[in-house]
Structure 1
Amino acid sequence: MKAKSPTSIDAYVGSRVRARRKLLRLSQVALAERIGVTFQQIQKYEKGINRIGASRLQTIAETLGVPVQFFFENDTEPTTYNLVSNGRDDLNAFLTSKDAQALNRAFMAIESPAIRQKLVALAKSLARNTHPDIDVIHPETGA
C-alpha cells in the first residue's frame, strides 16, 4: 500500500509551524531536538514535503506553546488551499520575514490597546496613501 502524498493542507500546516517557530526565535535544530527528530525532518515538515502525523503535531504544538488548531487557523479553504492562487504567498513570506517578526515583537510590547489601535490606523493610512488601489480593510472583520 502506497503512503499518501503530502497535500496543500500539509504545506499550510508546515508554514504555520515555521511561522510560530520563527516568532519564538527557535532554530530548526532546537525544535528538532525538543521533539526528537532531525532538523532535516523539521525542514520537510515546514516545506510541506512530509506530512505531520497527529501525535507529532500535538508534540509540536505543545513545544511551540499553541493549541493544535493554531496550525489550521486562517485556512478558510482547507481542501483547496493554494498559496499561489489565493494570494497568501506574499502574506506567508512576510509573516516569516525578519521585518515581520521585529514588527510583531514591537507591537506586542505595546501594552495600551488604544496605542495599538492608533498604530494600526497609522499603518492603514500609510498603505492607502502608498497604494490607493488596494483595500486595506480586513474582509471578514471590517477592521
Structure 2
Amino acid sequence: MLSDSNPVDIHVGKRLRQRRTFIGMTQEQLGVALGITFQQIQKYERGANRIGASRLFDICRILDVTPQFFFEEMPEQGEGAPLGAAPQPTRGDDPIDRETMDLVRAYRQIDSAPVRHRLLELARALAKGG
C-alpha cells in the first residue's frame, strides 16, 4: 500500500469508480470478476493502491472501456513542473456525480429516439436559463 497516494492513481481510481457506478456494477461484483476482494476495489478507487498494467487490462475488458478512459480529463503537466512530476487533478469531486449518472441511466432506458431528443433539447434550454 502506498503511504502517499499519487495524484495519477487517485485520478485512475475516480475514473474506475465512475465507470463501475455508471454501468450499475457493485464493488463486490467487480471484485468477483477480477478474483479479488471488494476491499481491494475500494483501495483502487481511493488511489490507496496502484493498479498494475495487467489488472488494468482486465478491468478495461470487464468495464468495456479502453485504457485511455482512465486517463481522460487528467490535466496536462504544467510548465515549470519538475520532470516526472505527477499531474494534479483539477477537481476535488468526481467529474460526474451520482445524480448525473442516474439521469444518464434513465435517459438511456428511454426507447423512443424522438422522446430522448426532446428531453435533450429541454435540458439544453434549461441549462441556458430558458
TM-score of Structure 1 vs Structure 2, range by shorter chain: 0.7 to 0.9
Does 1:89 find its partner at 2:92?
yes
Within 2, Cα distance between the matches of 1:29 and 1:104? 23
C-alpha RMSD over aligned residues: 2.6
Q: Following superposition of structure 1 onto structure 2, how do residues 115-134 of structure 1 map, counting pairs within 5 Å?
A: 116=116, 118-129=118-129
**Residue 75 of structure 2 contacts residue 87 of structure 2 at CA under 8 Å; is this kept in 1?**
no
Task: Look up the match of 2:82.
Answer: none
Count residues with an aligned counterpart: 120
- Code of the aligned partner of 2:107: F
TM-score (norm 2): 0.75
Within 1, Cα distance between the matches of 2:128 and 2:29? 40
Within 1, Cα distance between the matches of 2:5 and 2:103? 32
**Gap change, CA 1:48 and 1:124, over 3 Å in 2:** same
- Code of the aligned partner of 1:89: G
Q: 2:87 aligns with which of 80, 86, 97?
A: 80
- Code of the aligned partner of 2:67: V
Per the TM alignment, residue 9 of structure 1 is displaced from its structure 2 partner at its CA by: 0.8
Per the TM alignment, residue 75 of structure 1 is displaced from its structure 2 partner at its CA by: 1.9
